[in-house]
């Protein structure tokens, strides 16, 4: 396998823009609670997990829960804090949230849940079925959010490779089921293959960002890729093209 540029190169401005963001809602959290705002007992009791804070920051920055956001898939849903944030942020909007997780979980109120492995085609079929209405019309997705992560081994390379497989599965879902103009957020784990994922995102989305929320521990290799505005590829790009090597993908970007 070709060796790919390191993540430090990935952070150069010609690639994804990389920002740390001080969110207004998080500032409010700081004011409400003393001590570590992300690890506070009261806050922890309110959200199903600390992962909520990362999504709050992402939404503050990229406004993913906007008025066009109705059909949402939450990949790696358990224990459900991201769905909880989505419900909170979408308020009275008309929305449907489907959580998907390889493990058993309890759906968040007002949300739906299926147990399934996102790397399996059968799970993608279940998602499509769920969003097919009584007349057999498939309702495309407006937002795919993925906080999926393999069980960490503590060995960064293995964790990165495991995460890449999950990200690729998320991208396949975006290719097949995300509407034109739709958005995607996914957790990525730094490593040599990130360059390839970045290139695929560039083919699929008009704007892409790499974002490290403040609530994500600085020593952690995680960050989030945000793809805004799924492109209308008009059948010029096939799924197999998207999963070609880096050189082929760069050619696609020029089309």
Q: How far is the CB of 31 from ligand SAM (least distance, A)?
A: 23
Nearer residue to ligand SAM within complex by CB, 149 or 161: 149
Annotation marks residue 187 as catalytic: yes
Where does this chain bind ligand SAM (CB under 6 A)? 48-49, 51, 76, 78-82, 100-103, 117-119, 147-150, 166
Q: What is the DSSP string of 25-36?
A: HHHHHHHHS-S-
SS (H, E, C) 82-149: HHHHHHHHHCCCCCEEEEEECCCCCCCCCCEEEECCCCCHHHHHHHHHHCECCCCCECCEEEEEECCC
CB of 125 to ligand SAM, least distance (A): 14
Q: Which is nearer to ligand SAM, 133 or 219 (CB)?
A: 219
Nearest distance from C-beta of residue 240 to ligand SAM, angstroms: 22
Q: Which of 32, 54, 61, 187 is an active site residue?
A: 187
State the residue number with the nearest CB to ligand SAM.
Answer: 76
CB of 148 to ligand SAM, least distance (A): 4
In the complex with ligand SAM, the residue whose CB is nearer, 166 or 203, is 166
The nearer residue to ligand SAM, 16 or 53, going by C-beta atoms, is: 53
Pair of tokens at residue 214? 């403040």
Euclidean distance between CA atoms 100 and 202, whole angstroms: 25
Supply 35's token pair: 């001590």
Give the active site residues. 187
């Amino acid at each position: 396998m070709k060796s790919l540029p390191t993540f430090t190169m990935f952070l150069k401005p010609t690639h994804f823009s990389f920002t740390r963001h001080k969110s207004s809602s998080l500032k409010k959290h700081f004011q409400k609670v003393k001590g570590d705002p992300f690890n506070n007992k009261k806050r922890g009791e309110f959200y199903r997990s600390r992962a909520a804070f990362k999504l709050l920051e992402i939404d503050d920055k990229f406004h993913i829960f906007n008025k066009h956001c109705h059909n949402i898939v939450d990949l790696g849903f358990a224990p459900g804090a991201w769905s909880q944030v989505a419900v909170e942020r979408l308020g009275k909007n008309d929305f449907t949230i489907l959580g998907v997780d390889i493990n058993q979980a309890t759906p968040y109120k007002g949300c739906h849940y299926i147990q399934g492995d996102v790397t399996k085609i059968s799970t993608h079929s279940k998602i499509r079925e769920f969003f097919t209405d009584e007349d057999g019309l498939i309702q495309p997705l407006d937002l795919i959010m993925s906080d999926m992560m393999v069980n960490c081994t503590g060995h960064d390379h293995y964790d990165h490779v495991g995460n890449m497989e999950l990200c690729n599965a998320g991208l396949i879902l975006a290719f097949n089921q995300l509407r034109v103009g739709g958005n995607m957020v996914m957790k990525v784990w730094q490593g040599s293959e990130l360059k390839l994922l970045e290139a695929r995102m560039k083919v699929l989305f008009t704007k892409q960002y790499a974002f490290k929320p403040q609530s994500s521990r600085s020593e952690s290799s995680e960050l989030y890729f945000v793809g805004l505005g799924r492109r209308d590829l008009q059948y010029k790009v096939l799924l197999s093209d998207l999963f070609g090597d880096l050189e082929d993908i760069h050619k696609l970007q020029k089309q």
